[in-house]
Structure 1
Amino acid sequence: MSTESVSVPAAAPTDGLPQLRTYTATTEDDRVDGLRLIADSVAQQRQIASKMLIFHPLHLAGFALFIAILLQRFWKTNDDLYMLGPTIGGIVMACLVAVRWATGRYLTYAEETNWDWLGDDRMIVVRWGEEIIGALVLGWADEAAKKKQGRRKRGKAIVRAWTVRLKYRGKGVGEGLLEEAVKVAGERGADGIVFERDHANSKRILPSFYNSFMDQQEAKAEKALEKVADEKGNFRQRRSSPTWGSR
């Protein structure tokens, strides 16, 4: 009596992985997690600003020159190093404290990213398993003014915040958020979608020549939104329609 071997299909590589979902948050827990993620992204700007202060070429050159002068003036024998070592360490600590103080306002901005700031705007989130890993806040330009007019009128949707948890960046999560925002804006009859001028990560507390990295990141975000809007939205078709502006 012979038996036939039964082949078992190999499991797919993605079997067992958590599900990735992008959706509008409707529960308080999801909105809280999304808001917390946005506030964290604002606080993280403090680290970026601190690095810009510490590693700015002019600051490094000035610090090196100061230490060189200090050593030239006071280092006569090896015994002088016992005094110069703690002195230089104290100077470094003082500089770090100054950097911490100069960038501390970002923590205040993070604390202000709260329920009052969010209001009734739509929170779009990305969930990976049980974890919220991305969040976007979508509002509507001049919403209050349109309500006073007592009629529906097209306008632009505005992105008030857009962030992804650090370890998930560069994996398409942020683009998925933008695509969902464009979709929602289209469903609401928007004639365009842009970043709000005063969005969550737009604050700058240092002089402009320290902000080049953050400004470049913001420019990339604006280009990414424009690209998704052109590819996934139908805003241009609406503007060219004969009935555009009739509502």
Structure 2
Amino acid sequence: MSTTESGAKPRIPSPSPRSALPELSTYTASSEDDRIDGLKLVADSVAQQRQTAAKMLVTHPLNLALFALAAAVLAKYIVGEWDHVYLLGTTLGGLVFSCLVAVRWATARYLVHAEAINWAWLGADQMVVVKWGEEIIGALVLGWADAEGGKKKGHAKRRRGKAVVRAWTVRGKYRGKGVGEGLLEEAVRVAGERGADGIVFGGDHANSKRVLPALYNGFLDKQEVRAEKALEKVADEKGNFRQRRSSPTWGSR
């Protein structure tokens, strides 16, 4: 006798845990809301460079050595009696505070650059996004450089020249999970469909700005090199351009 015939309720299979996960999708944003969210994500990535730059200033060996030297000089001239130890403590506290204010001031221009990421900056360029459920977690801005003059202009259905990546970023907690590579693959696909000769990072892309001397930009520069290599890899593997990067005449037209 079946369980139904004996009066027991039939067992309903429990839903798969995967069925509750939000959908991950990568596409060219057409709605204003998606484009705004993508712009905000790009602007946030520029603002976050301030934190990286500040960390470089605080932890750089040269700056640490200068701070230690200043502290030693203060200790030499202040410490003489027990009463002066307290004076040294307050003086060093003031020195630390002054250094932090200087770091904050030195890196403030990253916020100015972040504020410049707006509708005028985006222009007619395409915004490629990755959406996880209802949240935009990755954004890439795709522009165009004409073969003749190299200036960015609006898109046409098919035109000669190179596609230019003007911004590429992923929300922090989703990095290292393939989201960024998915953005690059979509950008390469779109560029190929529009007849591009190739695809490169723009020299003035959103995260290219540096507000500190070159001495402190090593980490940001390494990030940029890794991004360029990632784009080259995807373009070589997934691209459908008129000329491959390996060709000796790639980029000359």
> If the length of structure 2 is used for normalisation, what is the TM-score?
0.87
Equivalent-residue separation in structure 2 for 1:10 and 1:77 (angstroms) = 75
Q: Secondary structure at the match of 1:45?
A: helix
Which one of the candidate residues 158, 162, 183 is aligned to 1:156? Answer: 162
* Alignment CA distance shift 1:19-1:2 (3 Å): closer
Equivalent-residue separation in structure 1 for 2:119 and 2:11 (angstroms) = 56
Which one of the candidate residues 139, 142, 146 is aligned to 2:146? Answer: 142
**What count of residue pairs does the alignment treat as equivalent?**
239
Equivalent-residue separation in structure 1 for 2:208 and 2:2 (angstroms) = 74
Equivalent-residue separation in structure 2 for 1:56 and 1:159 (angstroms) = 31
C-alpha contact (below 8 Å) 1:185/1:193 kept by paired residues: yes
| Per-residue CA distance 1:195-236 (angstroms, 9 max, x = gap) | 001100000111111100000000000000000011111226
Give how far 1:142 is off. 2.8
Match of 1:245 in 2: none
Equivalent-residue separation in structure 2 for 1:106 and 1:144 (angstroms) = 33
Which one of the candidate residues 108, 122, 136 is aligned to 1:118? Answer: 122
Match of 1:166 in 2: 172
Identity of aligned residues (%): 70
* Alignment CA distance shift 1:83-1:210 (3 Å): same
Counterpart amino acid of 1:53?
L
Which one of the candidate residues 192, 195, 198 is aligned to 2:201? Answer: 195
Within the alignment, does 1:18 sit opposite 2:22 as a pair?
A: yes
Within the alignment, does 1:52 sit opposite 2:49 as a pair?
A: no
Equivalent-residue separation in structure 1 for 2:13 and 2:148 (angstroms) = 58
* Alignment CA distance shift 1:87-1:237 (3 Å): closer
Equivalent-residue separation in structure 1 for 2:90 and 2:77 (angstroms) = 16
Structure 2: which 5+ residue stretches go unaligned?
Answer: 247-253
Equivalent-residue separation in structure 2 for 1:128 and 1:71 (angstroms) = 55
Equivalent-residue separation in structure 1 for 2:54 and 2:219 (angstroms) = 12
Equivalent-residue separation in structure 2 for 1:157 and 1:78 (angstroms) = 68
C-alpha contact (below 8 Å) 1:191/1:239 kept by paired residues: no
* Alignment CA distance shift 1:114-1:143 (3 Å): farther
Equivalent-residue separation in structure 2 for 1:104 and 1:186 (angstroms) = 39
* Alignment CA distance shift 1:177-1:116 (3 Å): same
C-alpha contact (below 8 Å) 1:159/1:199 kept by paired residues: yes
Equivalent-residue separation in structure 1 for 2:73 and 2:140 (angstroms) = 51
| Per-residue CA distance 1:75-102 (angstroms, 9 max, x = gap) | 1222212211111111111111111111
Give how far 1:151 is off. 11
Give how far 1:72 is off. 2.4
Equivalent-residue separation in structure 1 for 2:169 and 2:2 (angstroms) = 61
Bigger helix share: 1
Within the alignment, does 1:207 sit opposite 2:213 as a pair?
A: yes
Q: Secondary structure at the match of 1:158?
A: strand
Over the aligned positions, Cα root-mean-square deviation in angstroms equals 2.6
Match of 1:132 in 2: 136
Structure 1: which 5+ residue stretches go unaligned?
Answer: 241-247
Give how far 1:154 is off. 1.2
| Per-residue CA distance 1:168-202 (angstroms, 9 max, x = gap) | 11111000000000010011011100000110000
C-alpha contact (below 8 Å) 2:166/2:201 kept by paired residues: yes
Q: Secondary structure at the match of 1:120?
A: coil
Work out which structure has the larger RCO, using CA pairs closer than 8 Å and 6 or more positions apart in sequence.
1
Alignment of 1:68-107 (within 5 A): 68-107=72-111
